Amino acid sequence: MFKLTILLFFVASLLLTAQKNEVSLSKFPDDKVMVVAHRGDWREAPENSVWAVKKAIEKGVDMAEIDLAMTKDSILILMHDNTIDRTTTGRGKPSDFTLEEIKKLNLRDGLGVETQMKVPTLEEILVLSDGKILLNLDKGFDYIKQVYPLIKKRNMLDQILFKGHESYTEFNRKYGDIKKDIHYMPIIKLGDEKDLKNISEYLKNYKVYGFEFTIGSTENNLIDFKKLKEKKVKIWVNSLWPHHNAGNNDDKVLDNPNVYDWYLQKGVNIIQTDRPMELIKYLKSKNLYL
């Protein structure tokens, strides 16, 4: 009986290890499309909540995008806005409250209705997501001195994606000592000469994970993403609002799921969406879902 117990434990450990290896930025294949849930699956739970991430995991989403803020007592929490007014039952800036005080408040759902859910800490989300879903820490670099040791200690560097607007020179000056340890994606606004220069500077000096592009409401400033993909970098475009994607946004999906064809035609292989279920269904039909 003892030997059987040991064997079962060993098999379970192998299965867990295999599952965790699959949740990896470095191993995500270039020929599949990564699905990113914006602020978690916020249509089913309050944005940036534990349950928003849980619902994303349940749906099989590849990555959850979450936003960071810091409390008065220097604890990292999930919060998008500069104040807590819209998403909680409180009022003020996150930095006005200790974690204990924040935890006394309730989150509001997408309609502004009070729920019984609480504002989570980053550490709570790391525990929940480890081995189950990738994370994009929006505003992560605002608190890099706190974030980096936390994810390194948990051995989660290959599960976390950072993004930022910095030029390569600024990025290297601020984060040069850790740049080889992290996955980083510059955000590029097409039509801006300075940002276009940033593409070549990053490609020349650093192994980026990819680029996030804001395209505008038309294709006037669109560039050839496929040439960039040949350099083994991923292409991220948001399907959230029309100005991100030349009008090929999530609101059109319910009437016309083939709106996502545009992303495939342009060579996009990471899509951040407010409708993960619809996007996953579409990608499965094209054999592009991991």
Q: What is the pLDDT of residue 230?
A: 94
Largest CA distance in the chain: 69
Please report, rounded to a whole number, the percentage of residues in the chain having pLDDT higher than 90.
88
User: What are the b/e assignments for 167-178, b being 16+ CB within 10 Å?
Assistant: bbeebbeebeee
Q: What is the pLDDT of residue 177?
A: 96
Residue 218 in domain: yes
Residue 80 in domain: no
| Phi, psi dihedrals of residue 65, rounded to the nearest 5° | -90, 130
pLDDT digits (tens, 9 = 90+) for 46-83: 999 999 999 999 999 999 999 999 999 999 999 999 99
Give the residue-averaged pLDDT of 210-218: 97
- 151 alpha carbon, distance to own chain's centre: 15
Residue 263 in domain: yes
Q: What is the pLDDT of residue 139?
A: 84
Q: Does residue 183 have a pLDDT over 50?
A: yes
Q: What is the pLDDT of residue 29?
A: 96
User: What are the b/e assignments for 30-64, b being 16+ CB within 10 Å?
Assistant: eeebbbbbbbbbbbbbbbbbbbbbbbbbebebbbb
Q: Does residue 11 have a pLDDT over 80?
A: no
Please report, rounded to a whole number, the percentage of residues in the chain having pLDDT higher than 70.
93
Q: What is the pLDDT of residue 3?
A: 52
Residue 102 in domain: no
Closest of 277, 237, 40 to residue 138, by C-alpha: 40
Does the predicted model carry a pTM greater than 0.85? yes
Average pLDDT, the chain: 93
Residue 264 in domain: yes
Q: Find the CATH number of the domain harbouring 27.
A: 3.20.20.190
Q: What is the pLDDT of residue 140?
A: 85
Residue 88 in domain: no
Q: What is the pLDDT of residue 192?
A: 84
Residue 37 in domain: yes
The sign of the CA dihedral 86, 87, 89, 92 is negative
Q: How far apart are CA 157 and CA 154, in angstroms?
A: 8
pLDDT digits (tens, 9 = 90+) for 136-182: 998 888 899 899 999 999 999 999 999 999 999 999 999 999 999 99
Q: What is the pLDDT of residue 17?
A: 39
How many domains is the chain partitioned into structurally?
A: 1
Range of the domain at 228: 23-65+122-285
* Active site (catalytic) residues: 38, 80
Q: What is the pLDDT of residue 193?
A: 87
Residue 138 in domain: yes
